[in-house]
Amino acid sequence: MKSDNNTLNIDGTDKKILKFLMDDARKPILEIARNIGISGAAIHQRLRKLEKSGLISGSKFIINPKVLGYTTMAYIGIFLDKAMSNPRAVRELEKIPEVLECHYTTGDWSILIKVLCKDNEHLMQLLNKNIQQIEGVSRTETFISLDQQIDRQISL
């Protein structure tokens, strides 16, 4: 593992370790060690270095939202009246649990958010009663996702 111009370069062993853990973060370290041909201690040491470098941070369980009744995924472009409204709008969006992601963007919108709702009626209520009521929001543009076709992390 080397660092050049603020870019981290990882070696083949690090990539193998990461690929195993990206596939299943609960895979036992000793099983990975047997597959790669190095000791479990060496893997722990490499993982600590990768965490310290900022390349990886923790692990998480992935919840299937459909099991909880959340079936409508949408992307909402938010038009703000002034650029100075951005930080205030983001603080208000953080308070809305259905907002999964929030991005400042180039182009027509000031902000693009990803939301998850139980259904279209829930989405309409979220738009009308929460998002469009935020001070500085002049209008929104909504795109409903019909089905997610690709879901992946960056390739190593």
Residue 71: name the closest of 18, 19, 115 by CA: 115
Enter the tokens of residue 139: 């209008």
pTM: 0.84
Domains of the chain as residue ranges with CATH = 2-53 (1.10.10.10), 65-145 (3.30.70.920)
pLDDT tens for residues 48-99? 999 999 999 888 888 999 999 999 999 999 999 987 879 999 999 999 999 9
151: tokens are 């879901």
The arithmetic mean of pLDDT across residues 19-40, rounded, is 94
Task: Output the pLDDT for position 1.
Answer: 60
According to the model, what pLDDT value does residue 84 have?
81
Using 50, 70 and 90 to split pLDDT, how confident is the model at 143?
very high
Mean pLDDT, the chain, as a whole number? 93
Number of H helices, E strands in the chain: 5, 6
Strands 2-4 and 72-80 come out as unpaired
Q: Which helix (H) or strand (E) holds 29?
A: helix 29-36
Calculate the dihedral angle through the C-alpha atoms of 25, 29, 30, 33, rounding to the nearest 10 degrees.
100
Question: In the chain, what percentage of residues exceed pLDDT 70?
Answer: 96
Contact 83, 155 (CB under 8 A): no
Query: Helix crossing, 29-36 with 40-53: angle to 10°?
Result: 110
